[in-house]
Structure 1
């Protein structure tokens, strides 16, 4: 008789949850290059919002028996929540002492009260890298990735910490910038967040038919992910001078739709599995590795210190990807033996 499929022990599940809480801000802020290595202790301040937000999304989807479509839409809702009602970057023209109004002036949409390009950056950064990439990386170390890691008390505690951490950061942002968005802007953002959350659990009920084509090689999946992410973040270097910023906005829509369609098709092919999901994640992680170096001169620390942080965080990301690859391969061998 075949042995039962391996399960993740309770202690291991708790460690996975804690790893996700810490990894989300490390990827979202430090690997990106928004925070220097000298500010590493601040990860404990960011983790309640970033990390607990990612963990709530992962646990909510898994507890409901949902998968990646649900987590992607919940991550988009988180992106709007963080940069909207929490820190108000979407509307504050001088957020973080940076002239955001000037930087994104060419794609400003008056009825939104924000810039289309800024909105796209927020959705790309947080949906993909701040939430989905950390979840996928940590799930690579779980024997049963579809199972929740927390019980109800742990889930409730995570929610409480997320609310407290988000409120703390919202108050701090207001104190530092003395900016408060309009009631209409808050209401519009909240409405969009509610729609995304509702859509997240509605789309999880859909059962699309399989695609009767062989799954692509994992290296090809990773290459596409890296190329797509790099093309988006390198748009200022790739587009010729004089091209309207709205061209970049339109290309983002095409790129996002194309990658989403491709991943939806690939995920329904025979043979698609953990190695392909990890390859997608690796392509996204490697994009942030090189992107972080481009932000070194923008940090409020000496250039050498900023580069040192880029090297440390980039090397740590590569080590983590290597460990995840080994883990996924071992799980594949163990699953084949059980089967």
Structure 2
């Protein structure tokens, strides 16, 4: 097992790390000195050097950050709610409901993304339904405007078309504060809805298995004590689900930072790079621009982000016991 892990996991990671330190176009052997060694230049171009590389990387981080912040809580909350629903003992057709809720998770992501493209076209079914209630829907996949900037513009706080003041004057990694704070684009929100719909079924099954492992006597004793459903959820069910909640959040966090297939099918960064993500940018740098060194560097930066956020999440969800006092 150690040999297999070393051969198919550790060794490729070390090879990719070496490639991230090279200026390599993929046409030669990177391990024979034919590729030029550049050290940390690929990483510097992403963080410290002004230019298109840093701007695109910062844009992809911003887009993916909003994607993670919105997708992970929504899919986790929806999955937990569905699990609580289908776990009701008096509910009829529980098996059929579980199948219906889980079905999107086993459907091809490419097929689902293609269907969403048709549904959310300017003249698609979603806008047709909105027109019935007097709402004119946007051209979803061609709208690069951030939803937070649109909300602030509707309230008269800022002008989304021509922002001014400190938000427009100060920049971080080549993007103005306004661009960082404008929120996910309308196009990215559509991809978020797709992700929540397709992943909630899988996490529902994980929560359902954990709910069925909670001792029934624990719930019955709590009911005898007179707790209501809200108190039962807060003080009995959620503490029992803490390890599973950490698992679901971790899986969701990793998957959302690595999102690629939906981006590839539904826009490849368009409109205006507002659906660009680090995983897709890594692919573009390596296979479209033949800059495998920078593509590998982006991948390792993404790895560090995932590890740090997972560690923070583990710290937040840790067991908080009483500190041992002094012995007297």
Please report the TM-score for the alignment, with normalisation by the length of structure 2: 0.28
Larger Rg, first or second structure (1 or 2): 2
Please report the TM-score for the alignment, with normalisation by the length of structure 1: 0.28
